[in-house]
C-alpha cells in the first residue's frame, strides 16, 4: 500500500515530462510560434511562410524586407474570414473544382461570397454629382454632350464610391479587432534590403575613364526590383570594362534632382568621358542594354 504515492508520483512526472516535450518540441518550434493573434486566433510563422511563397518575385522579396506589410494583409484576410463565418456558419460544399490547380480555396470563396453580398447594392449617384463630374472633366471627354456620357460617368462615380466603402469597412474592421503583433519576432525574420551605390561611388565611376550605366530607382519600386537581377549579371559580365551602378533616389535626392529624374527606374548611359549620351525611362530588356553599351564603346 505504501507504494501508491511512489507510483502516482512517477505517473505525474511522466505527464509533466510529456507536456514539456510537447511544448519544447512542438508548440515552441519557431515555425509554429505566433507572429500575431487576431481576435485570439493565431497566425503562425509557418502560415506566414506558406502564404508568402505564393507571391511572385520581386514582391516576395520586398515583403521579406518589410514583413509587417504582408502580415497586415493576412490579418485583414483573417478578419474577413471570421466575419464571413459568422454570416455563413455552414462551410461550403467542396466539389471536384476545388482540386483543380490554381482554383480558389474554400476560405477564399467564402470571403468572396461574403463581400459580394455585403456590397451587392451599388451606391446611389445623384444628377448633381454627374453634372459636377462632367463640368470638371468635360475637356478630357472630347466635349461630348452630357446626355451621351452620363451613363459612363455614373458608373465611374459608383465604382469610386464602392471602392471607398470597401476601404472604410476594412479600416473599421481592423480598428475594432483585438490584434496583437509580436514585433520582436517580426523583426527577426525581416531580410536586409539590397544595397545601392553611394554618391561618392557614382562620382568616382564618372571619373574612371570607363563607360557608366546608372539605374536611378528605389527598393520600393517593382520595375526597379525587376531590373536588379539583370544589372547584377551585367556587373559580372562587364567587370573592368564598364561601371554598372544603382542609385536610390530617396537616399540621394540631390543626385536625382541634378539629373532631373522624374520617373523610376531611369537608366542613364555615360561615355568614357563621363558625358551623358542616352537615357531610358522605365525598365529595359538586357539585350537592349547590351546593345546600347556596345554603342558607347563597351567591348563584349
Concatenated DSSP letters for 42-86? EEEHHHHHHHHTTSPTTHHHHHHHSHHHHHHHHHHHHHHHHHHHH
The answer to the question of residue 37 being in a domain is no
Q: What is the pLDDT along the chain (300 residues), one digit of tens a residue?
A: 455 554 544 444 444 445 444 444 444 555 568 999 999 999 999 999 999 999 999 999 999 999 999 999 999 999 999 999 999 877 656 665 555 555 678 899 999 999 999 999 999 999 999 999 999 998 888 888 999 999 999 999 999 999 999 999 999 999 999 999 999 999 999 999 999 999 999 999 999 999 999 999 999 999 999 999 999 999 999 999 999 999 999 999 999 999 999 999 999 999 999 999 999 999 999 999 999 999 998 876
Q: Identify the active-site residue in 84, 214, 221, 247.
A: 221
Handedness of CA 232, 236, 238, 244 (dihedral sign): positive
Is residue 201 part of the annotated active site? The answer reads no
The answer to the question of residue 251 being in a domain is yes
Of 238, 252, 248, residue with least CA distance to 289:
238
The answer to the question of residue 38 being in a domain is no
The answer to the question of residue 95 being in a domain is no
pLDDT of residue 89: 76
pLDDT of residue 25: 43
Residue 274's Cβ-side half-sphere holds a number of Cα atoms within 13 Å equal to: 8
Cα(11)–Cα(21) distance, rounded to whole angstroms?
A: 15
The gap between the terminal CA atoms of the chain, to the nearest Å, is 92
User: Which residues constitute the domain of residue 266?
Assistant: 199-295
pLDDT of residue 139: 87
The answer to the question of residue 232 being in a domain is yes
The answer to the question of residue 113 being in a domain is no
Q: What is the pTM of this model?
A: 0.77
Looking at residue 242, which CATH number applies to its domain? 3.40.30.10
Q: Identify the active-site residue in 206, 224, 234, 255.
A: 224
> What is the DSSP secondary structure assignment for residue 210, as one 8-state letter?
S
The answer to the question of residue 261 being in a domain is yes
Count CB atoms within 10 A of the CB of residue 100.
9
R_g of the chain, CA atoms, integer Å: 29
Number of domains the chain is built from: 1
The answer to the question of residue 268 being in a domain is yes
Is residue 120 part of the annotated active site? The answer reads no
Amino acid at each position: 500500500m505504501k507504494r501508491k504515492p511512489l507510483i502516482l508520483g512517477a505517473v505525474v512526472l511522466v505527464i509533466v515530462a510529456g507536456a514539456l516535450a510537447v511544448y519544447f518540441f512542438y508548440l515552441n518550434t519557431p515555425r509554429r510560434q505566433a507572429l500575431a493573434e487576431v481576435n485570439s486566433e493565431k497566425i503562425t510563422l509557418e502560415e506566414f511562410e506558406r502564404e508568402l511563397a505564393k507571391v511572385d518575385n520581386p514582391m516576395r522579396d520586398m515583403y521579406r524586407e518589410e514583413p509587417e506589410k504582408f502580415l497586415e494583409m493576412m490579418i485583414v484576410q483573417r478578419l474577413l474570414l471570421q466575419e464571413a463565418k459568422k454570416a455563413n456558419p455552414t462551410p461550403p460544399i467542396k466539389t471536384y473544382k476545388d482540386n483543380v490547380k490554381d482554383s480558389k480555396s474554400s476560405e477564399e470563396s467564402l470571403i468572396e461570397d461574403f463581400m459580394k453580398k455585403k456590397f451587392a447594392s451599388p451606391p446611389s449617384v445623384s444628377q448633381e454629382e454627374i453634372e459636377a463630374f462632367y463640368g470638371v472633366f468635360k475637356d478630357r471627354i472630347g466635349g461630348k454632350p452630357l446626355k451621351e456620357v452620363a451613363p459612363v460617368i455614373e458608373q465611374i462615380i459608383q465604382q469610386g464610391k464602392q471602392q471607398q466603402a470597401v476601404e472604410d469597412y476594412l479600416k473599421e474592421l481592423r480598428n475594432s479587432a483585438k490584434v496583437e503583433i509580436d514585433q520582436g519576432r517580426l523583426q527577426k525574420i525581416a531580410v536586409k534590403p539590397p544595397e545601392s551605390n553611394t554618391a561618392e561611388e557614382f562620382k568616382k565611376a564618372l571619373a574612371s575613364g570607363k563607360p557608366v550605366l546608372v539605374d536611378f530607382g528605389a527598393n520600393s519600386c517593382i520595375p526597379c526590383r525587376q531590373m536588379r537581377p539583370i544589372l547584377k549579371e551585367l556587373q559580372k559580365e562587364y567587370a573592368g570594362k564598364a561601371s554598372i551602378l544603382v542609385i536610390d533616389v530617396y537616399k540621394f535626392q540631390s543626385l536625382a534632382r541634378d539629373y532631373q529624374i522624374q520617373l523610376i527606374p531611369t537608366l542613364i548611359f555615360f561615355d568614357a568621358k563621363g558625358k551623358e549620351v542616352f537615357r531610358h525611362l522605365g525598365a529595359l530588356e538586357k539585350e537592349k542594354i547590351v546593345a546600347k553599351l556596345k554603342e558607347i564603346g563597351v567591348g563584349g
